[in-house]
Structures are given as C-alpha cells and as structure tokens.
C-alpha cells in the first residue's frame, strides 16, 4: 500500500491529511521510487491555499524528494533498482511510493558524500537559487545583497555568490545572524532603519541583489541605486519584471543539470545545507507549522518509513 499526503479543497495547513491506496505499477520508460525524505517549501502552502488554481478533487502535495529506486519499466537504461536518487515531482512527492514517468527530466542519482536527508530537500530551493544567481552575472569582488539569507533559497544563493568571489551581505532575523557569519555571510537585521544599515555596510554601493521578498522590497533595492538588471526577484511576482525591469529567474528557468551540479557542490563541501527539522509523514501538519512559524535555518523534511539502506548504500553515501 502507498500512503500519501493529500488535500481535497483549498485552505490552510489543516487541509493536509494522509490517505492510503495501492502503490503504482511501472510502465515502459517509468521508474518507481521508494521515498525516504520529502522536503517542505513555503510555495507548497501557497498551492494548498489556491494561489495556483482551485483544488477540484483530491490533490497531492510537495515537490522535493529522495529515495531508492525499487522498480523500473521496460526501456529504462539509466536507473536500476537499488539506485539512490533525488529530484522533484510537483504536487506528488510526499508519499511512500512515487512514480516518475519522465526520469530523464526529473531524477538524478545522489552523488557520493551527499546524504539522503539533504538531497530530499534540494529540488525547489536549489534550482531556484542556481537560476537566480546565474541571472545576476556576479563577478569576483562585487558586493552582493541576498535578502532572507537564512531561508531555504537565500542561504544557498548567498553561498553560491560567495563561491563566485563576491562579498555577500544578507538580511535575516537576529536569531539567525550567527549561522550566517559561520558561512562567511555578513548579516544585516530586518526592521526599521534597514536602508541606512545597508548603506553603512556598503558605502561604495551594492552591485547586485537577490530578492526573496515582496514588491516593496524591489522598490527599496532600486532606491539603493542597484541597477534593475542586477536585481533578481523570486518573491514579488512576475509583474515586477514589467514594472521595474528586474529579473525574475527562478525554478521555472533552471537548467536540467543545475540540481546535479549543486548536489556535487554540497557533497564536496563548497555549499552547506543544514536540516532544521525532520518529521514523520503523519506529522505533516506539525512540520508545516514549524516551517511557517519558526523560519528555521535549514530544510524541514518529512521522513518516510522505508526499508533500511543496505551496507553498500550506506558506505556509498559516507565515502
């Protein structure tokens, strides 16, 4: 049997519940994954709330996942049972058994040194961060601002900018400043006087900005004399591209190899992604309340009860 997170009408966290059904069978070209971890993202709640369309009947939830291939269909040559994999399947990933109909587009093997926990929360945040930083065309020595720098997307984006040789300053709540400093990111507190603090931190100006917040933030960044073409917004909506001329590059424009590249960067230690909390699949409502209320540094994951990894699989991940 397969257990999955589902909702039947738009609303808040309390709409999410667990349902049971037969596990899907694989057809030609398809891969079935026994899910181990499924990542949570704020956009999941926007989907449940109806921001991307009304729920007409039962809907699955989540996008990020990691797991083990447990069955492959005819004509599948790139994946085999036992492979450790990760990727994204929008509106489906929070389940025990996930059918991937297009594995060449949605599935990657987990590289050596990257655990299934971190891999299980990479798809949305990782692809968004890579695509957004690429749009900024950062060069070594520039001062770059990342807002919401302790969030799931922001903390990856900030480290990517650091790896490009930039000086990175990041806005975050006071409680998360130490975590940013440990990564080499210079924290700036939110709240009244933010613009003055940013000017003081970068008296010679900010060359580029990765914006994770609303349209008002985009206007504020422009008032700091950051060129519109050097601002990438992922939180204000598509209208800011026409209104202000800023970039809106995010997950939708990520390239096929971006996730695999980021996974290796994490495995090799160039980017650090922490796990802030792990909840059982049945605790999905508590997991989203933690994500929404705590604004943690690191990913929040659902743990799916699965067969233990084999000795070979454990050695592969730890090598």
For residues 154 and 75, membership in a common domain is answered with no
Enumerate residues 6+ apart whose C-beta is below 8 A from 170: 145, 146, 147, 148, 149, 150, 154, 158, 180, 185, 186, 187, 188
pLDDT band at 319 (very low <50, low <70, confident <90, very high): low
Mean of pLDDT over the chain? 95
Structure tokens at 129: 């961060």
- Under DSSP, the state recorded for 230 is G
Whole-number pLDDT of residue 244: 98
* Domain region containing 22: 2-122+273-318
The DSSP symbol for 247 reads B
Cβ burial of 92 (10 Å; 0-12, 13-18, 19+) is: buried
Residues 49 and 156 in one domain: no
Whether residues 20 and 114 fall in one domain: yes
Tell the residue number behind the tokens 């083990």, with chain if given.
68
Question: Does the pLDDT of residue 309 top 90, yes or no?
Answer: no
Distance CA 118, CA 38 (A): 10
- Split at pLDDT 50, 70, 90, the class of 36 is very high
Instruction: Please check whether residue 268 lies inside any domain of the structure.
Output: no
Beta strands across the sheet bearing 186-189: 186-189, 167-172, 143-146, 208-211, 231-233
Q: In the chain, which ranges are E strands?
A: 2-7, 17-21, 31-39, 59-60, 64-72, 84-88, 97-100, 107-109, 143-146, 167-172, 186-189, 208-211, 231-233, 275-280, 299-303
Q: Is residue 237 part of a domain?
A: yes
261 located within any domain: no
For residues 156 and 117, membership in a common domain is answered with no
What is the gyration radius of the CA atoms in the chain, in angstroms?
Answer: 20
Which string of DSSP letters, residue by residue, matches 82-108? T-EEEEE-TTT-SBSEEEES-HHHHEE
Do 117 and 199 sit in the same domain of this protein?
no
Number of structural domains (the chain) is 2
Q: Flag whether pLDDT at 136 surpasses 90.
A: yes
Q: What pLDDT is stored for residue 161 in this prediction?
A: 98
Domain boundary at 253, 281, 297, which?
253
Q: How confident is the model at residue 212 (pLDDT cuts 50, 70, 90)?
A: very high
Residue 279's domain is classified under what CATH number? 3.90.180.10
| 8 and 46 Cβ atoms separated by less than 8 Å | no
Q: Which two tokens stand for residue 104?
A: 């060449």
Domain contains 111: yes
Within-domain flag for 26: yes
Query: Same domain for 156 and 249?
Result: yes
Do residue 227 and residue 164 come from a single domain? yes
Clarify whether residues 50 and 151 are in a common domain.
Answer: no
Q: Are residues 150 and 214 in the same domain?
A: yes
Whole-prediction pTM value?
Answer: 0.95
The residues, ordered by sequence, that sit 6+ positions from 13 with a Cβ below 8 Å of its Cβ are: 45, 48, 285, 288, 289, 292
Token pair for 65? 């996942």
- Residues 145 and 56 grouped into a single domain: no
Q: What are phi and psi of 3, to 5 degrees?
A: -110, 135
Tell me the pLDDT band of 15, cut-offs 50, 70 and 90: very high
| Bridge partner residues of 87 (DSSP) | 65, 107
- End position of a domain, from candidates 219, 253, 287: 253
Give yes or no: residues 32 and 51 share one domain.
yes
Q: 265 in a domain, yes or no?
A: no
Share of the chain above pLDDT 90, in %: 92
Indicate whether 56 belongs to any domain.
Answer: yes
- Whether 9 is covered by a domain: the verdict is yes
Domain end, chosen from 253, 284, 305, is at: 253
The pLDDT value recorded for residue 280 is 97
Place of tokens 């667990």: 18
């Amino acid at each position: 049997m397969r257990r999955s997170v589902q909702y039947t009408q738009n609303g808040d966290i309390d709409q999410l519940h667990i349902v049971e059904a037969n596990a899907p069978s694989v057809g030609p070209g398809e891969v079935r994954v026994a899910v181990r971890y499924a990542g949570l993202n704020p956009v999941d709640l926007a989907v449940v709330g109806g921001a991307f369309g009304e729920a007409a009947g039962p809907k699955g939830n989540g996008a990020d996942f990691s797991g083990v291939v447990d069955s492959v269909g005819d004509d599948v040559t790139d994946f085999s049972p036992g492979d450790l994999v990760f990727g994204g399947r929008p509106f489906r990933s929070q389940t025990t058994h996930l059918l991937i109909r297009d594995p060449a587009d949605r599935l990657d093997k987990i590289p050596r040194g990257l655990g299934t926990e971190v891999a299980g929360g990479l798809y949305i945040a990782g692809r968004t961060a890579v695509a957004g930083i690429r749009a900024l065309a950062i060069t070594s020595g520039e001062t770059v601002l990342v807002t919401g720098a302790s969030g799931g997307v922001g903390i990856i984006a900030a480290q990517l900018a650091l790896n490009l040789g930039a000086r990175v300053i990041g806005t975050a709540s006071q409680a998360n400043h130490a975590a940013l400093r440990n990564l080499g990111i210079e924290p700036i507190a939110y709240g009244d006087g933010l613009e003055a603090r940013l000017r003081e931190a970068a008296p010679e100006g900010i060359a580029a900005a990765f914006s994770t917040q609303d349209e008002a933030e985009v206007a504020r960044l422009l008032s700091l004399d950051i060129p519109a073409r050097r601002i990438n917004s992922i939180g204000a909506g598509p209208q800011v591209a026409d209104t202000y001329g800023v970039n809106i590059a995010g997950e939708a424009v990520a390239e096929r190899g971006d996730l695999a590249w980021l996974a290796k960067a994490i495995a090799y230690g160039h980017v650090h992604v922490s796990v802030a909390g792990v909840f059982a699949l049945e605790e999905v409502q508590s997991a989203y309340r933690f994500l929404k209320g705590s604004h943690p540094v690191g990913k929040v994951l659902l743990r799916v009860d699965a067969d233990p990894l084999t000795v070979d699989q454990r050695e592969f991940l730890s090598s």
